[in-house]
Structures are given as C-alpha cells and as structure tokens.
Chain A
Amino acid sequence: MMTNPGNKITQGQFSFLPELTDDQITLQIKYALKNNWAVNIEYTDDPHPRSTYWEMYGMPMFDLKDPAGILMEVNECRKTFPNYYIRVTAFDSTRGWETPRMSYIVNRPKEEPGFRLIREEREGRSMGYSIVSYASDKPEGERYG
C-alpha cells in the first residue's frame, strides 16, 4: 500500500481532493471549453511518473462543445476500463502554448500498490535510481485485477 497522503498516486491537478463527482468533472470540462481547449480522455495501467503516453480513448474532442456529451464519454471510458487510471486532459492550440493546460485523474484502480525504488550502487557514494511499478511486473491488461 502506498504510504503517502491519500495512499494514492498524486499525479494531476486534483489528486489531493476527494474523488471528483460527475458535477465537479462537468464544471472542469466547462472551464476547458470556455478557453477553447480540446478535451481528451486517456487511460493506462502503466502510471510510472514518466509514462507520458497513456492510451487515447478516441481522439481529442476538438468539435464537441457539449459538457454533458464529454462527461458521457468519460463515463463510457470508466465503464470500459474500471480498473485503470483515467485522466482528462485539455489541449491548448494557441501559439506559445500548444500543450496540455489541464490534466486530472477521474478514475483509479481499486488498489494502488505504488512503486518500488531500485538503487544501483555506483562508484564512490553515487547511486543510480529506477522507479518501477509493483503492478507492471504483470503484462498489460492484467495489472490491476
């Protein structure tokens, strides 16, 4: 079990808050739409801190401007991948940004075993560090039960 605050992975904007309700998720989607950002849903069972490319649940919703419709997609994704990490991101295409402007987790596996720190003792007192998910020893798709 993870021993950090909340006993969970704390990536994303709102991991220190109680899990967001559908209404709260909708308000955040509205904020993205108000800024003309494209909302995207991603899921993974490889939540390493440097695992950049979570699987895309469809394409970024460039043309969908209806928050309820986007929430429906979020819920579809949760239904399909109940035991995966799912995050909602929002892409800003304006010059000078062209990058995600929001990213928050909306679904987690029931149990989050966290990460092992592997130390490689090097010359002198130097140390090389690797972080490995306890769950990723298992093949993709079989990691969180």
Chain B
Amino acid sequence: MSGKSETTGKERYKSGVIPYKKMGYWDEDYVPKDTDVIALFRITPQAGVPADEAAAAVAGESSTATWTVVWTDRLTACDMYRAKAFRVDPVPNTGEGTKIEAQYFAYIAYDSDLFEPGSIANLTASIIGNVFGMKAVKALRLEDMRMPVSYLKTFQGPATGVVVERERLDKFGRPLLGATTKPKLGLSGRNYGRVVYEALKGGLDFVKDDENINSQAFMHWRDRFLYVMEAVNRASAATGEVKGHYLNVTAGTMDEMIERAEFAKSLGSVIIMIDLVIGYTAIQSMAKWCRNNDMILHLHRAGNSTYSRQKNHGMNFRVICKWMRMAGVDHIHAGTVVGKLEGDPLMIKGFYDTLLETHTPVSLEHGFFFEQDWASLNKVMPVASGGIHAGQMHQLIHHLGEDVVLQFGGGTIGHPEGIQQGAIANRVALEVMIQARNEGRDYLAEGPEILQKAAKWCSPLKSALDTWKDITFNYESTDTPDFIPTATTSN
C-alpha cells in the first residue's frame, strides 16, 4: 500500500479546498534524497487537527501550497516542488497523561531546487516564512535541519574559521580569553580605550564592544575605533602577543557598516563585530567582505532569545548556529552552561558541536535528528559570555572544551584590585587548568584545589576566588532535551 494520500488527476484539481494531505504534501513512504533539505518541526496541532494533516499543512505552506486548489500547479513538475512530510512522531512526555498538550516531531523533505544557492534569506523565506502563523497549528518550532552537502557547497562558510584564526593570532591549545567593556553605555572613547588597554595588557586576548555600542552621543564610532586601536597596539607591544578588540560595525545601513569595517581595517584591527539583528543578508555580505579583507567576523546573537528560548514555538538555537556557519561568521555566542544566561548542558554541547565538528551523527539527546556532513565549511569559534568567572574554570573547560572564547566581562573589570589584575587572574586560572588537563589529572574534581594552589603564588587570582567564590546562577533551563540518554546493556 502506498503511503501517499494524494488525490490525483481531475479530482485533485477541482476548484475548492481539500486537506493538505490530499494535495500531495504527505507521503510516509518517501525516502529523502541525499540532496534534499530536511527540516524537523515540533508541531502542536489545533484541537481536532490530526498530526499528519498538521505536518502536511506545514510542508505545504513552507513550499508550494496556498489555501485552495490552483490549476496552475499543472503547468509545473509540481510533485517535485511540493515539500513532503514523511514522518510524524509523538514528542516524549507530551499529550495524554502529561501536563503538556500533545506535540509531534514532523520530518519534512524539500527538493534543493526550491532554494537559491548561497542565500540564507531565500532558504528561511521558505522554511520559516509564512508557516509559523498558520491557524492549523497552535504552535510550531523548527528544531533541526539536515543540509545536503551539495547545498552547503553553495555557501562560503566562515570567513576565517577556527584553524586560521588561531594561526593568525598565534594562540593554540587553550581557550581564548575575552571581556566585554563595561559599562555598556556612557563611556567616552578615551575612557573606553582605557578598559581595553588594561584588560589586554593584563593577559586577555580580546576585548569586545557590546551589542548596543554603535555610534551614540556619548561616543561616536570613529572615536571609539581610534582609541581602541591605540589600546590594542600598546598592549600588543607590551606583551609581545597579537591582541584584538571586536569593533562593532553594526549600523543603520549596509553602506555605513562597510565604511566602519574599512576604517577598522585601515587601523589594523584583526577582528570586527556585527549583531544578529542586522539580518541574514547583511551578515552574509559582511562575511564576504571579511574573507576579502583578512578579517575575523564576530557575531553577537542579539535578539535570538525572542524566538529561540521557548520550547513550543519559534526555532531552536542550533538551527541558528547552522545558518550562521553557512552564512559565514567566525564567532557566535553559544552559551556558557554555568553562567547567567539560559543553557542546558546537553543543548549547549549540541550548539558547540554544530559549530565545530566536520561531521555530526544523529544524537537525540543533543537535539541532532539528522546526520550532518559539514562539507569542509570552516569551523566557527563559540563564545561563552555572561556571568562567568575564574573560579569556574574547571567547569568551563569541562563543558566547553578548548575551542571557545571565554568572556569574563564583570569577572575582569569587576576585580577588586583593578582590570589588569582581573585579567591576570583569568589567564592564570586558564593556563593552570589546561596544564592540569593535559597532565591527565581529574581536573573537574580537583579544580577548586588546583585554583587555590595557584592562588598561593598569584594574589590577583586569590582575590578573584574570594570575591566570586559562591556566585552561581542555578535556574531551570527552559530549552531542555526531549530525549535523555539511558544506559544500555549488551543483553
């Protein structure tokens, strides 16, 4: 028996309204082609709408369908252009007997001819274009996507990538250290550069503009760039290391962003920064500019939590990570596990693997519903920022690994003895923990002791540990895995 529920021929194209399932958007026998884009949606159907019909509706509205039958379909190879929902699974711990109304994971395949090569805007205009407002679903969330290698090859990918970034910076085998200049708003260019100089001379690799630092009355962008680059170069001469500051070039128009990027380049900056809110096309334009101008591109994920945090509606952040790796950024904020912002450890591991691995297998507890081959696209450096401090170094390295920028903003600038001392504390904590890890010690268990021992010869570290010793942010995550790994036995 065919799993396809399509009505065919004359009957199919009679004017009027028929269920999406009958229009050819559901086919449970469909075997996705290697070149198909596959999306996984979490669907909460309206009462009375069967899950497969809701899935077919999502497939229809994210590809060729409109609300009624149109005869003009028959002028096209319409079967190919129709997305096909081919599998629906109930979401664990939802529906009858639970507190959450029934949700379903729907697998939908799209022929890659539906999408313009190399355009995140075009991809997303289909996949998340109209469908999230459709009445047939009460809520909808895009959880994961499988990008075929053939389609990935149409994207530039990260302008620089982790490997070349490390080679350019001459920094290997340890996380990079950063800090965001605080206060976020109000510092003059001269005062702002002071923070940058102190933090970099003290031992950080990077300092960063915040997402909302652009060109305001208290500090116009050229002033910021000039003072910051004086600070960066002074610190580089004082330490013999390559140093950087993410100069945020976010502006109201593309032309202004390019102008700011060009100025950053003329001053010798190794890195510039943009905010996610500038939009996918602007991000891709900046990624191309960066590839052409030897520049690292830092992306702040400003705005993402408006649609990525709630579990039933919007989209999972791992999909943003995939799109941003395709779009071509080199850095993206991807969670800290132990800091002040949302982040379940398994979910964060999934984000990091999406950014860094060349290949990821299916792994439901990390939210990977598909195997993904990254087709030699460069790796993106994840950035961990928000409420982290030196006393958590063992946990940070355990959860996040060594390919990450650890951003200690408050944890550097808020140090009781000054910014340089804050930076020293962080760098010493980092190096001593990497040393212990490489030596094969159980650094997660022995972490506090390793730090205390280093604090005996490094008084700035002692002050940092004393100041922030009990600070943690223990809140329940809202975005958690649906599948919990269970121990398996061989018989």
Contacts and interface: CB of A to CB of B under 8 A. Distances in A.
A17 B431 contact: yes
Interface string B201-239: 111000000000000000000100010011001101111
Chain A interface: which size bin?
35 or more
Nearest to B457: A18
Given A103-B173, A117-B237, A126 B439 contact: no
B337 to A, nearest CB: 23
Contacts of B174: 13
B434 interface: yes
B224 to A, nearest CB: 12
Contact of B431 (A2, A16, A30): A16
Contact of A129 (B167, B229, B440): B229
Interface in A1-29: 2-5, 9-11, 13-18, 24, 27-28
Most chain B CB neighbours (cut-off 10 Å) among A2, A10, A96, A115: A96
Given A114-B240, A117-B233, A13 B172 contact: yes
A131 interface: yes
Interface centre among B172, B236, B268, B427 (most CB of A within 10 A): B172
Nearest to A130: B233
A126 B268 CA distance: 11
A126 B267 contact: yes
B242 interface: yes
Interface stretch (A44-52, A56-64, A67-75): A44-52
B377 to A, nearest CB: 10
B240 A115 contact: yes
A14 B240 CA distance: 14
B241 to A, nearest CB: 6
A138 B329 CA distance: 42
Interface in B246-280: 266-268
Contacts of A79: none
Given A16-B424, A95-B358, A27 B241 contact: no
Contacts of A77: none
Interface residues of B, number: 40
Contact of A131 (B203, B222, B237): B237
Given A2-B238, A11-B240, A31 B424 contact: no
Contact of B242 (A30, A50, A95, A104): A50
B15 interface: no
B170 interface: yes
Contact of B203 (A5, A14, A18): A5
A65 to B, nearest CB: 17
A129 B432 contact: no
Interface string B141-162: 0000000000000000000000
Interface string B381-397: 00000000000000000
B267 A10 contact: no
B427 A96 contact: no
A103 B230 contact: no
Contacts of A18: 457
Interface in A86-125: 89-90, 95-104, 114-117, 125
A102 B170 CA distance: 10
Contact of A17 (B167, B435, B439): B435
A139 interface: no
A4 B267 contact: no
A106 to B, nearest CB: 13
A89 B440 CA distance: 19
Contacts of B234: 117
A-B pairs with lowest CB-CB distance, top 4: A9-B240, A31-B438, A129-B233, A117-B237
Interface of B: 163, 166-167, 170, 172-174, 201-203, 222, 226, 229-230, 233-234, 236-242, 266-268, 358, 379, 420, 424, 427-428, 431-432, 434-435, 438-440, 457
Given A11-B241, A14-B431, A24-B439, 15 more contacts: A4-B201, A5-B201, A5-B420, A11-B240, A14-B434, A16-B431, A52-B170, A97-B163, A98-B163, A103-B173, A104-B173, A114-B238, A114-B240, A115-B240, A127-B230
18 contacts: A3-B238, A4-B238, A9-B240, A9-B241, A10-B427, A31-B438, A49-B170, A50-B242, A99-B167, A100-B167, A100-B172, A103-B170, A115-B236, A117-B233, A117-B234, A126-B267, A127-B226, A131-B236
